[in-house]
Structure 1
Amino acid sequence: MNKEKFEQGLEVRRSVLGAEYVDKSIQNATDFNRPMQELVTEYCWGEVWTRPGLTKKTRSMLNLAMITALNRPHELKLHVRGAINNGLTKDEIKEVFLQTAIYCGVPAAIDSFRTAQEVFDEIDKEQN
């Protein structure tokens, strides 16, 4: 493992998904899934998310579209919150999902709208 890339990835991962969530994921890692946590942190977050070619906001938009296409609601929930942390507005998230409705299918987009609304409701409760 490249310790420097892991640490860079940990920093970006915390800034996007929230330190509490990331730290809990790493602390709760088992012998079975620890290698996956390390892989994701080092390569996904440390190698790719730290590249200068795209902003975090753009990366979040792409992730929302791709995760919608893959129909991964648990990951989508995390990345909706991450997208908000990266500066996307609800209207921008809505536009991403409308775009995915055309290219990925209406059922996938409907599920993403539903999942995003759950996140928005959670955030509203946290702020009140």
Structure 2
Amino acid sequence: MSEERYNKGLAQLEAMGGESVQAMLNQLEDMSSDLTGMTVAFAYGDVLSRPGLDLRSRQLATVAALTALGTAPVQLRAHIDMALAVGCTRDEIREVIIQMAVYAGFPAALNGMAAAKEVFRGRDEGEMG
């Protein structure tokens, strides 16, 4: 992995913001610095930083995919937080999760909505505290 790809990915992550980004990196780093480097360089440096889609569109697509996948609740919460950080509205996030009921089933959509509720509540409590 090149340092250039990693730095490009890290810059992309920073642009996406979200309260859970640094926590996600710290958690990964504690387990495997190699996996952290690969994730940052490939996912964010090579893919999410490509031209063609804005960050809002990429994050809505990611929320949809993680909702449909149904096996990545930590990543789903992180990407819901990042979607909000790049300007997606709560209503847009709810709608993309509801749409996944058609393609991934109601359990996946219900779990996705529970993740969204958790992120929204955390942000609301953070604003109050």
Give 1:6's aligned residue. 6
2-structure distance, mates of 1:97, 1:21 = 21
CA distance in 2, matches of 1:100, 1:20: 23
Question: Which blocks of at least 5 consecutive residues in structure 1 are unaligned?
Answer: none
- Taking structure 2 as the reference length, the TM-score comes to 0.89
- Percent of aligned positions that are identical: 31
CA contact (8 A) 2:28 2:35 kept: no
Q: Aligned-pair RMSD on alpha carbons?
A: 2.0
Instruction: Show the counterpart of 1:66.
Output: 65
TM-score (ref. length: structure 1): 0.90
Instruction: Name the residue aligned to 2:105.
Output: 105
Q: What are the ranges of 5 or more consecutive residues in structure 2 without an aligned counterpart?
A: none
- In structure 1, the partner of 2:126 is 126
- Write out the 4+ residue segments of structure 1 that deviate beyond 3 Å after TM superposition: 17-21
Change (3 A) 1:84 1:37: same
1:45-84 matched pairs, under 5 angstroms: 45-71=44-70, 72-84=72-84
Q: CA deviation at 1:19?
A: 7.2
The CA deviation string for residues 25-48 of structure 1, in whole angstroms up to 9 with x for no partner, is 258724x61111000100100011
1:27–1:63 CA distance, 2 compared to 1 (3 A): closer
Alignment coverage as a number of residue pairs: 127
